[in-house]
């Protein structure tokens, strides 16, 4: 009799349970070793439903609730940074919808390993010019408190700088170890370069580059002096033209004055008539031959 009642209750419970749809798209995202679980409620989830989260460590093999994520509302995320303590362990998370008399099935995330699945953001980068060189200053992200005495910067292997000259997009790449300040020399002075930086990790993490930071190697004096040179040349050529004009006009004027003063007989060109005579003579001479 007791068994029948139990089965009946169980059946009743199942009928009630099965109706609440399970959450979906349960995924873990992670940036600079801060891990966040997100999910979507199943279709027709009642608005009074809340969601509860549990995590599994591959080394422990039992699901444990996440204290801060027992009653999440739709759209809220679960901060798993503390729950995934061991950087090198593998974890899963699962989410269930809950109403006062119903629970949904659990939806389980994929496996997640903090050290390899986190996205490593770039350090803060500032760039300034120093003549024919650039000074790159790096500031690491605020130290996330990590276990095993590791710091975020212990995960970095190298810093990859992409340097691009703005004028013609000529670019090169530098892989350097961490330095607070790095100087890139032998650049063109008075020219703008843009730099981005990203990190590479010992554990194959996914990284994102910084936004480009741009600076002139030195104040663009040559560049700004170019228009000055051009305008000076312009002014000089205008002056030269004026001068030439004056000279021509002046000479014409003096020629006119001269021709007015000199008697007409002298102005006729006796050389021309002499020349034509010469040509004519030579022609007739050739004909004779």
Q: Which residues bind ligand NAG (CB under 6 A)?
A: 18, 21-22, 25, 34, 40, 79, 81-82, 100-101, 105
Give CA–CA dist 159/122, Å, rounded.
9
Residue 34 corresponds to which tokens in the numbers above?
Answer: 């801060």
Dihedral angle of Cα 185, 190, 191, 194, to the nearest 10 degrees: 60
Task: Name the residue nearer to ligand NAG (CB basis): 105 or 207.
Answer: 105
**Minimal distance in Å, beta carbon 166 to ligand NAG?**
36
Task: Name the residue nearer to ligand NAG (CB basis): 73 or 256.
Answer: 73
Residue 285 corresponds to which tokens in the numbers above?
Answer: 């001479």
At residue 121, the 3 state secondary structure works out as coil
At residue 269, the 3 state secondary structure works out as coil
Task: Name the residue nearer to ligand NAG (CB basis): 9 or 239.
Answer: 9
**Minimal distance in Å, beta carbon 151 to ligand NAG?**
14
Strand-strand pairing, 119-120 and 192-201: unpaired
Distances (CA, A) of 129 to 64, 126, 191: 54, 11, 9
Q: How much of the chain is in helix, strand and coil states, percent to nearest 5?
A: 30, 30, 35
Are 119 and 207 contacting, i.e. CB atoms less than 8 angstroms apart?
yes
Task: Name the residue nearer to ligand NAG (CB basis): 82 or 256.
Answer: 82
Task: Name the residue nearer to ligand NAG (CB basis): 78 or 127.
Answer: 78
Task: Name the residue nearer to ligand NAG (CB basis): 38 or 201.
Answer: 38
Query: Residue 254: enclosing H or E segment and its boundaries?
Result: helix 221-261
Provide the edge-to-edge strand list for the sheet that holds 134-139. 124-129, 134-139, 181-184
**Minimal distance in Å, beta carbon 24 to ligand NAG?**
7
Radius of gyration of the chain (CA): 43
**Minimal distance in Å, beta carbon 100 to ligand NAG?**
5
Residue 144 corresponds to which tokens in the numbers above?
Answer: 């996330």
Task: Name the residue nearer to ligand NAG (CB basis): 52 or 213.
Answer: 52
């Amino acid at each position: 009799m007791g068994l029948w009642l139990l089965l009946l209750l169980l059946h009743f419970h199942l009928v009630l349970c099965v109706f609440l749809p399970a959450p979906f798209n349960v995924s873990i995202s992670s940036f600079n070793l801060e891990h966040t679980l997100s999910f979507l409620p199943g279709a027709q989830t009642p608005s009074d439903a809340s969601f509860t989260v549990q995590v599994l460590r591959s080394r422990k093999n039992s699901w444990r609730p996440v204290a801060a994520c027992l009653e999440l509302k739709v759209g809220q995320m679960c901060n798993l940074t503390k729950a995934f303590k061991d950087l090198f362990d593998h974890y899963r998370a699962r989410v269930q919808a809950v109403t006062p008399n119903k629970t949904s099935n659990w939806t389980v995330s994929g496996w997640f390993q903090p050290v390899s699945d986190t996205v490593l953001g770039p350090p803060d980068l500032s760039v300034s010019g120093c003549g024919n060189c650039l000074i790159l200053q790096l500031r690491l992200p605020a130290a996330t408190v990590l276990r095993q005495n590791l710091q975020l910067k212990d995960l970095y292997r190298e810093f990859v700088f992409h340097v691009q000259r703005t004028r013609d997009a000529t670019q090169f790449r530098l892989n350097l170890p961490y330095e607070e300040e790095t100087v890139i020399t032998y650049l063109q002075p008075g020219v703008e370069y843009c730099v981005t930086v990203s990190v590479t990790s010992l554990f194959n993490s996914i990284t994102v580059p910084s936004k480009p930071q741009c600076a002139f190697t030195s104040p663009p004096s040559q560049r700004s002096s170019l228009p000055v040179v051009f305008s000076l040349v312009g002014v000089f050529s205008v002056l030269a033209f004026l001068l030439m004009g004056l000279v021509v006009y002046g000479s014409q004027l003096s020629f006119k004055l001269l021709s007015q003063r000199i008697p007409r007989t002298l102005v006729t060109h006796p050389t021309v008539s002499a020349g034509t005579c010469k040509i004519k003579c030579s022609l007739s001479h050739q004909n004779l031959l």
